[in-house]
Amino acid sequence: MKRIRRYIVAGLLVWVPLGVTLFLLKVLVDLMDQTLLLLPPPYRPDALLGFHIPGLGILLSLAVLLVTGILAANLVGRQLVHLWESILQRIPFVRSIYSAAKNFAEIVLTDANQSFNKVLLIEYPRKGLYSLCFQTSTYLGEVQARTGEDVICVFVPTTPNPTSGLILMVPKSDVIELEMDVEDALKMVVSLGVVVPRWNGEDAPVSLAKAQPQP
């Protein structure tokens, strides 16, 4: 029975990730195919070809994104975006959702800041216990001036849901910078620590693992 159970678990480990991946891809493709409804009925691919081809909406979505990006990058487009955002900022409930979504998109999709590009280790919730966290900001203005220390802001995610957590202002001298990338760190958090990323320096002395980050 133990052997049978081991085989069943091995089979689940193969099919569950594959099934989830295919399901999410299907949802994404179906969602992008909805953009085809923007076209007049006679010009939709289904009407022209006589049959449905899944995924054609991806091409239209990419074209819409490209055209939008070109328009938003020029002077007139920036003014239109600014006008649109100023209108949304005047709507009480909508402005909160839009601002949060925009800030999150800027953090994830742009390289203009230092947010979420470093995985750190700090002693939290008490000395002797360590928690994974992500660097979110290195300039804290008044916080840094009031503390009198060189501090950074970090985000400590909860597990298994890394979208929630808390922010901490930590002195740089108390931070250990890790070599693992953000994706591997998120896998570790989501898996409750079961999935541990491979480290190229596993045979290195312990003192190297505790090296402090460079300022």
pLDDT tens digits for 126-144? Answer: 999 999 999 988 888 888 8
Are residues 33 and 55 in contact, defined by beta-carbon separation less than 8 angstroms? Answer: yes
- Give the closest residue to 195 by CA, choosing from 182, 186, 203: 186
Model pLDDT, residue 14: 81
What is the pTM for the complete model shown? Answer: 0.51
pLDDT tens column, 57-98: 888 888 888 888 888 778 777 888 888 888 888 888 888 888
Cα–Cα distance, 175 to 211 (Å, whole number): 9
* pLDDT for 211 beyond 50: no
Mark out the alpha helices in the chain (DSSP H runs): 2-33, 45-49, 56-73, 75-88, 92-109, 142-147, 182-190, 206-209
pLDDT of the residue at 110: 61
